[in-house]
Structure 1
Amino acid sequence: MGQDVDRRTFSRRDRQQYRAKVQSCLEALTEMLRSHPFARDEPMTGIEVELNLVDDALAPSLSGKAVLEAIGASEFQSELGRWNMELNLPPRPLPGDQWRHLEHQLLDELAVAGAKARDCGSRLAVIGILPTLRRADLVLDSLSPDERYRVLNEQMLGQRGEPIRLDITGDDPSGRHDLAPDRLSADFDSIAPEAACTSMQLHLQVHPDEFGGYWNAAQCIAGVQLAVGANSPFLLGARLWAETRIPLFEQSCDVRTPELRNQGVRPRVWFGERWITSILDLFEENSRYFPALMPVTEDTDPHADLSAGRVPDLDELKLHNGTIWRWNRPVYDIANGEPHVRLENRVLPAGPTAVDMVANALFFYGLLRALTDAERPLWSTMSFEAVEENFTTAARHGLEGPLYWPGSGWIRPDELVLRKLLPQAAEGLARFGVTAPVIDRYLSVIEQRCALRRTGASWQVDAVAALEARGADRQRALRGMLDRYLESSEANAPVHTWALPG
């Protein structure tokens, strides 16, 4: 949720007016989808990476504002926690060797930010959850001073009416790792736990006529993305899920009381509940199911804009959409005076390296195109409930949990990727016009990760287990693991090549 908010209190009338304005925006968007031209450029992509800052002891460094000022570049923005910031790379086409250049740009931007962070006594950590976080870090004073985050905190806690409850139990049914899973149960008086989640967000601009198919395909592969890209096994010293970021984000943003959850009220961090045919299905669900968190209305009339030949901003619809955190989210925006829609994929964690993140991204884009172009859509042979179960299973177990896939039944994710999905992803990237050397470079990273069964999450767990076996307690083992993680991450060596502590 990046739009600025300059108010901290809202009246009953504000909420009533905002609801009406969201509906007006939705009606205007409906009219635009019927008769207004939308962008049809070559496939445009975007990437956002959320970052952590640590101090010399590898604990969170609340230096985000100082580091951002030292960097002084618009590509870097503040995030919810004072130890966070976000890198937004400019949109770029998908075809050709553009994403090879993107890896270089990502490395350059991280190097510049890393140097400025060191000048401020900090260090960058590109990881799904900072493993050295402590309870004392997840407090109101750790939130960024930006007004929108303070308003968001007040409104979410106000709707919930009680502390944020985290209750996450780890599980390792395979017994492959030497480190036993733990349970975390704790209450928090702010939304600061949300700041512990640092992700990589992928954008793909598509024409509105094609959006439904792309969103359905993205839902289908969300579980596979998590299994192959998991990088968040630790939170507050506890070994939990392979991608603990998923339940952490769901619970830290949950404004429902237990009674409302029992009634079936939808959560604001939402996988969804059905296949769609149009982007309107998602925006209509937003307006139907979710009350406003920040009911700020602008002095504009989207219907008047359309009548005057102007492209409406739809500010209220965009603000409302920004406070509903779907794992695959619709986006409406305007660029160079032309409206467009994008699919925003929010499934993946940040890290471990630039090459790993680009590999994760291209695997997603390629598989997305292959599934969308298929003669028989995968979602016509797969229930939505099965897709959601895959998502949760992969978040819990990473490569260890079998997923359901039509034509393969229950199959381990690494086998599914190696046998079936990598060739489809390569075909999809080729259809997008990506060059063969780029396809080979990045999909080989996914191939080796699956062949060796080594993700960021599994490396972290095994590294901590090795350090504890040598006599370190959990906190020292986490710091030792993170120190090795940062060294390998900065070297841009793919995570499947990382050695464990000897």
Structure 2
Amino acid sequence: MGQVVDRTTFSRRDRQRYRIKVQRCLDTLGDLLSSYPFSDTEPMTGVEIEFNLVDPELAPSLNGSDVLDTINSGEWQTELGRWNLELNLPPRPLPGDQWRQLEHELLDLLAGAGAKAGDLRTQLVMIGILPTLDPGHMTAEAISPEDRYEALNDQMLNARGEPIRIDIAGCSPEERVNADFDTIIPEAACTSMQLHLQVSPANFGRYWNAAQCLAGVQLGLGSNSPFLLGSQLWSETRIPLFEQSCDVRTPEFHNQGVRPRVWFGERWIDSVLDLFSENARYFPALMPLTSDVDPATQMRDKGFPDLPELTLHNGTIWRWNRPIYDSTGDTPHVRLENRVLPAGPTTVDMVANALFFYGLLRTLVEADQQLWRSVSFEAARENFQTAAKHGMHAPLYWPGTGWVLPDELALRKLLPLAHEGLARWGVSGAVCDRYLTVLERRCVTRQTGSSWQIDTVAALEARGADRMSALRGMLERYLAHSTANQPVHTWEIPG
């Protein structure tokens, strides 16, 4: 939700007008999808990466605004927490060696930003959840001082009517987080990599369905968030943490089956319009800001509408695979936003995760036997939850194979399919080999960012360190490996 918000309170009339306007936008989008000549141009991709900021003691640093001013680049922006920043990389084509260039550009950007942050005694960390967070950091004062965050916090808490409850159980009874928060600041603990792919509206349904099938595999191979507030919880704890920190339902509404705003979904779709229609039907407005522009009139005059109410509403519903409508530039487009993966551990690992996803999407979408016709939606959702809990040790259901672990599934079936899909996109052979080999070696060693964190903390505790000292020691080693851009499968566990 990156729109400018200049109000923090809303009336009943505001909500009524907004609902009418969202429906007007939805009707206009339906007309646009049936009549506008969307082009099938070179596939465009985009990446957003969220970062944590730490001080010299590796605790969260709340100087995000100062670091942002020092970096002084339009590619960087604030996030909900003062210890967060977000990097938005410019869109780029998928074919050729573009993503090899992206790795180099990202390393250069991080080196430059890191040097400037260092002048403020701050380091940038790419990790799903900062392991040195403690309850004392999770306060209202840690929310970034911008109207949109204040409004979002107020509206979500007003909708819920009681504190945010975080209750996540780990691998043993003593490993558990069960706490109430008077703000939505736990959401700021979740830092991710978001992948965008522009697709034609006619193909969007197939791409979204394929992405839903892959969500469990992505988490199984890419988890990087095992610790929260000192406890070892899920392999990708960011999943339940984000779901709970944005849950505006009371327990009673939850028991009634009211849909959550962080949502995997409940069915396969045929069209991008299916998702936007569900948004309008199921979710009340959080930020009911209306413009004076009539979308149908704008479509007649301009050729296509901006649909600000629909896009703002969509930005307050956090699907793990989210539809995006965008009208920046001379033409409108739709794209798939994949929100499944955590940030980190390294630039090379993130590029490998991205290309594995893009390659598999292409192959699955073009397969004669559509995968989602052979598996229930409930099985895809269960794969997602199981992988979030168990990572590389999660038994996943895959049509034609049955129950299989993520590493075995990737080595036997998915890596060759990803290679084939990238070739169809026009990605160079050298790029395919470099990054898919990273995934292959991760599968062979069975070492993800999450498993390395767990094993390293266990090794440091075995030496006599308490949990928080072990977490700081682990994070110190993590930062050194991550900065060196050494893929996570090569990271050693302390002896």
Q: Which of the residues 428, 432, 436 maps onto 1:439?
A: 432
Give distance in 1, aligned partners of 2:40 and 2:114.
37
Q: Is the 8 A contact 2:78 2:84 kept in 1?
A: yes
- 1:30 aligns to what? 30
- 2:133 aligns to what? 133
SS of structure 1 residue aligned to 2:339: strand
Q: Which of the residues 292, 297, 301 maps onto 2:285?
A: 292
Give distance in 2, aligned partners of 1:115 and 1:162.
42
Q: Is the 8 A contact 1:39 1:339 kept in 2?
A: no
Give distance in 1, aligned partners of 2:27 and 2:174.
49
Shift of 1:171: 3.0
Shift of 1:38: 2.1
- 1:159 aligns to what? 159
Q: Is the 8 A contact 1:47 1:89 kept in 2?
A: yes
- 1:401 aligns to what? 394
- 1:57 aligns to what? 57
Give distance in 2, aligned partners of 1:305 and 1:167.
46
Give distance in 2, aligned partners of 1:80 and 1:398.
27
Give distance in 2, aligned partners of 1:402 and 1:257.
32
Amino acid at match of 1:33: L
- 1:321 aligns to what? 314
SS of structure 2 residue aligned to 1:338: coil
- 1:209 aligns to what? 202
5+ long unaligned stretches in structure 1: 173-179
- 1:175 aligns to what? none
Q: Percent identity?
A: 69
Q: Which of the residues 256, 273, 276 maps onto 1:280?
A: 273
Which aligned runs of 4 or more in structure 1 are off by greater than 3 angstroms?
none
Amino acid at match of 1:32: L
Shift of 1:292: 0.1
SS of structure 2 residue aligned to 1:348: coil
Deviations 1:440-470 (A, max 9, x none): 0000000000110000000000000000000
Q: Does 1:463 align with 2:456?
A: yes
Q: Is the 8 A contact 2:78 2:86 kept in 1?
A: yes
Q: Is the 8 A contact 1:78 1:84 kept in 2?
A: yes
Q: Does 1:352 align with 2:345?
A: yes
Deviations 1:268-296 (A, max 9, x none): 00000000000000000000000000000
Give distance in 1, aligned partners of 2:424 and 2:71.
38
SS of structure 1 residue aligned to 2:341: strand
- 1:43 aligns to what? 43
Give distance in 1, aligned partners of 2:476 and 2:119.
19
Amino acid at match of 1:126: M
Give distance in 1, aligned partners of 2:131 and 2:418.
32
- 1:372 aligns to what? 365
Give distance in 2, aligned partners of 1:171 and 1:216.
31
Q: What is the correspondence of 1:90-489 to structure 2 with a 5 Å cutoff?
A: 90-171=90-171, 182-489=175-482
- TM-score relative to the length of structure 2: 0.99
- 2:71 aligns to what? 71
Q: Is the 8 A contact 1:163 1:188 kept in 2?
A: yes
SS of structure 1 residue aligned to 2:493: coil
- 1:493 aligns to what? 486
Q: Please identify, of 112-121 and 163-172, the stretch whose mean Cα deviation from structure 2 is larger.
A: 163-172
Amino acid at match of 1:13: R
Q: How many residues align?
A: 495
Amino acid at match of 2:67: V
Shift of 1:308: 1.8
Q: Is the 8 A contact 1:52 1:83 kept in 2?
A: yes
Q: What root-mean-square deviation, in Å, do the aligned CA atoms of Structure 1 and Structure 2 show?
A: 0.9
Distance 1:181 1:204, change over 3 A: farther
SS of structure 2 residue aligned to 1:81: coil
Shift of 1:113: 1.1
Deviations 1:362-383 (A, max 9, x none): 0000011110010010000000
Deviations 1:455-490 (A, max 9, x none): 000000000000000000000000000000000000
